[in-house]
């Protein structure tokens, strides 16, 4: 097994090959060779190669671009931008560059990166009212730097709308504006997850009401349609939106019920001592549902024009609640013709009720890391696999919620996209330098020991993240190589 000691002076890009760091001008490098012997070589402070200089400068300019791409600034970002300008000037102004210079500059870069590690790029949606005609517009602000306990200033609105001028300031979640082109709208954002879910559910109920032939369903569809219109209106205030939600939820509770037809929950208006007709997938057939004394008494297939019971091979089982529990009402329509194989002909059976999930969700902001081995599956909130999307291997994602679903933990990485926590790692972004105190074993992200590589005693290594793996705190020193914290000074 080969042990790595150094010195190899590379930039941050060398994380993929576990590049070590040395701060000494002259170091002792040791390599274990065949037979167990150790060869020691004294390395002088030689001139840096052009590749080393280019790599070092490239990493610094890449970091500078990351800072400059922010829309806005914070105190830490402003100070770090100035440091990077000074650092590049010192590189460009030095005629003879040694390997020790590269080390110093790399360490300064690490220090600057650590200075802004608490700054997170965020996305916001802000509604504004134009001064010119009082119309409402929605601005999507991307890559806004947010630093804990500090104000974000100089958010340039022209980067979002080229015809607008002025800047925004973000302080404790509230935006203010210096622009004369618009004012921040006094209202609320109607594109929140809660409101989108409200609109989606209400639209589904409207669609169901439109399939029912009754005066009640027509009136409900119109009333709910007005609620959706108001919920989508950008001029709706927070108070108005709350009233729309409250009134609509009351209407749904008081005037609409859910029944179950062949295991599918369906919305219908609440009626009593009356028959209502629901359209089916067949143009000539409807389902006649008769209620008496607030109970569903019959469910038959009828002609869509005459409402007469007709012969049909369609079989239905209807429960008077959204859950398939208890004995259903089944239709008694005579079949058009009995199937030739009578052994295969069965009336509708009570379906097995869908499993009830045990679910708890709580706020939990974290960074989730998809390990390098494979792309990770994504799931809905009900635990169903999303087939057209996945998390790429070796990628990090901001998560905001933790869900316990039937004993398995999931983290939310998008509106209705969840990853299983056990499929990846909860990490801390932690750029810095660590030093071994012993000859140290390496492990993969799943805790498997690497048998053909190790880190030498008293050597320094760059790390970019830490995580708890198999109950142990570990630091990453390469793409899929981690060292246990107990082996560090």
Q: Give the pLDDT score at 312.
A: 79
Q: Give the pLDDT score at 263.
A: 63
Q: Give the pLDDT score at 35.
A: 43
pLDDT more than 90, % of the chain: 20
Q: Give the pLDDT score at 442.
A: 92
Does residue 7 surpass a pLDDT of 60? no
| Sole residue written with tokens 């792309």 | 375
pLDDT digits (tens, 9 = 90+) for 17-40: 333 443 333 333 333 443 444 444
Contact of 56 with 102, CB cutoff 8 Å:
yes
Greater confidence (115 vs 326) lies with 115
Q: Average of pLDDT values for 177-182? A: 85
Rounded Cα distance between 114 and 110, Å, is: 6
pTM given for the model: 0.36
Q: Average of pLDDT values for 299-319? A: 85
pLDDT confidence bin for 79, thresholds 50/70/90: very high
Greater confidence (308 vs 2) lies with 308
Greater confidence (392 vs 96) lies with 96
pLDDT confidence bin for 175, thresholds 50/70/90: confident
pLDDT digits (tens, 9 = 90+) for 365-393: 888 888 887 788 899 988 888 887 788 88
Q: Give the pLDDT score at 459.
A: 87
Does residue 352 surpass a pLDDT of 60? no
Any idea where the domains of the chain sit in the sequence? 2-44+428-487, 50-115, 120-184, 195-344, 359-423
Lowest mean pLDDT among 230-244, 251-265, 292-306, 433-447: 230-244
Q: Average of pLDDT values for 60-76? A: 93
Does residue 446 surpass a pLDDT of 70? yes
Q: Give the pLDDT score at 153.
A: 93
Q: What DSSP letter does each residue of 372-384 carry, written as one string?
A: SSSPEEEE-TTSP
Greater confidence (119 vs 14) lies with 119
pLDDT more than 70, % of the chain: 82
Q: Give the pLDDT score at 246.
A: 92
Does residue 281 surpass a pLDDT of 70? no
* Two structure tokens written together for 446: 């799943």
pLDDT digits (tens, 9 = 90+) for 378-436: 999 888 888 877 888 888 887 888 999 888 899 998 878 899 998 899 988 777 888 99
Does residue 123 surpass a pLDDT of 60? yes
Structural class in CATH, domain 359-423: mainly beta
Greater confidence (375 vs 323) lies with 375
Rounded Cα distance between 489 and 433, Å, is: 11
* Two structure tokens written together for 172: 């404790």
Q: Give the pLDDT score at 31.
A: 39
| Sole residue written with tokens 């009754």 | 214
pLDDT confidence bin for 14, thresholds 50/70/90: very low
Compute the C-alpha angle 266/272/278, nearest 5°. 35
Where are the extended beta strands (E) located within 392-457? 395-405, 408-414, 417-420, 425-435, 440-443, 449-455
Q: Give the pLDDT score at 88.
A: 92
Q: Average of pLDDT values for 289-302? A: 88
Residues near 142 by Cβ (< 8 Å), separated by ≥ 6? 71, 121, 123, 160
**Shortest CA distance to 379 belongs to which of 409, 342, 343?**
409
Rounded Cα distance between 50 and 60, Å, is: 15
Percent of the chain as helix, strand, coil, to the nearest 5:
25, 40, 35
Mean confidence (pLDDT) of the chain: 80
User: What burial letters (b/e) apply to 93-128, b meaning 16+ CB within 10 Å?
Assistant: eeeebbbbbbbebbebbbebbeebeebeeeebebbb
Question: How many CB atoms neighbour CB 251 within 10 A?
Answer: 16
* Two structure tokens written together for 171: 């302080």
**Shortest CA distance to 127 belongs to which of 219, 215, 237?**
237
């Amino acid at each position: 097994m080969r042990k790595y000691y150094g010195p190899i002076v590379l930039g941050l890009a060398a994380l993929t090959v576990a590049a070590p760091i040395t701060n000494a001008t002259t170091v002792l490098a040791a390599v274990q060779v065949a037979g167990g012997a150790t060869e020691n070589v004294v390395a002088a402070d030689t001139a840096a190669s052009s590749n080393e200089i280019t790599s070092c400068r490239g990493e610094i300019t890449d970091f500078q671009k990351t800072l400059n791409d922010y829309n806005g600034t914070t105190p830490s970002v402003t100070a770090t931008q100035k440091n990077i300008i000074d650092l590049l000037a010192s590189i460009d102004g030095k005629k003879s560059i040694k390997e020790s210079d590269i080390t110093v500059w790399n360490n300064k870069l690490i220090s600057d990166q650590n200075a802004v590690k608490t700054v997170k790029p965020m996305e916001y949606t802000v509604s504004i009212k134009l001064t010119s005609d009082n119309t409402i517009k929605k601005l999507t602000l991307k890559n806004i730097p947010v630093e804990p306990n500090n104000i974000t200033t100089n958010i340039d609105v022209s980067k979002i709308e080229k015809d607008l001028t002025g800047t925004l300031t973000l302080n404790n979640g509230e935006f203010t504006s210096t622009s004369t082109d618009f004012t921040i709208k006094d209202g609320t954002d109607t594109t929140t997850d809660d409101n989108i879910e409200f609109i989606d559910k209400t639209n589904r109920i409207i669609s169901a009401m439109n399939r029912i032939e009754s005066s009640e369903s027509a009136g409900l569809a119109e009333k709910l349609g007005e609620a959706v219109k108001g919920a989508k209106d950008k001029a709706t205030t927070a108070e108005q939106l709350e009233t729309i939600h409250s009134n609509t939820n009351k209407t749904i509770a008081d005037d609409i019920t859910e029944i179950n037809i062949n295991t599918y929950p369906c919305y219908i208006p609440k009626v009593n001592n009356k028959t209502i007709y629901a359209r089916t997938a067949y143009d000539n057939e409807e389902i006649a549902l008769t209620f008496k004394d607030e109970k569903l008494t019959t469910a038959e297939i009828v002609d869509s024009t005459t409402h007469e019971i007709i012969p049909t091979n369609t079989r239905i089982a209807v429960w008077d609640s959204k859950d398939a529990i208890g004995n259903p009402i089944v239709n008694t329509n005579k079949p058009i013709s009995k199937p030739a194989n009578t052994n295969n002909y069965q009336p509708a059976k009570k379906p097995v009720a869908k499993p009830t999930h045990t679910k708890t969700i709580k706020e939990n902001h974290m960074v989730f890391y998809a390990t390098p081995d494979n792309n990770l599956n994504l799931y809905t909130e009900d635990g169903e696999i999303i087939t057209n999307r996945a998390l790429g291997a070796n990628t990090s994602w901001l998560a905001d919620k933790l869900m316990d679903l039937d004993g398995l933990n999931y983290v939310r990485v998008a509106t209705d996209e969840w990853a299983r926590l056990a499929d990846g790692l909860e990490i801390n972004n932690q750029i810095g330098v660590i030093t071994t105190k012993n000859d140290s074993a390496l492990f993969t992200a799943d805790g498997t020991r690497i048998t053909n590589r190790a880190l030498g005693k008293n050597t320094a290594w760059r790390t970019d993240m830490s995580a708890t793996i198999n109950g142990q705190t570990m630091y990453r020193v390469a793409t899929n190589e981690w060292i246990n914290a107990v082996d560090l000074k």
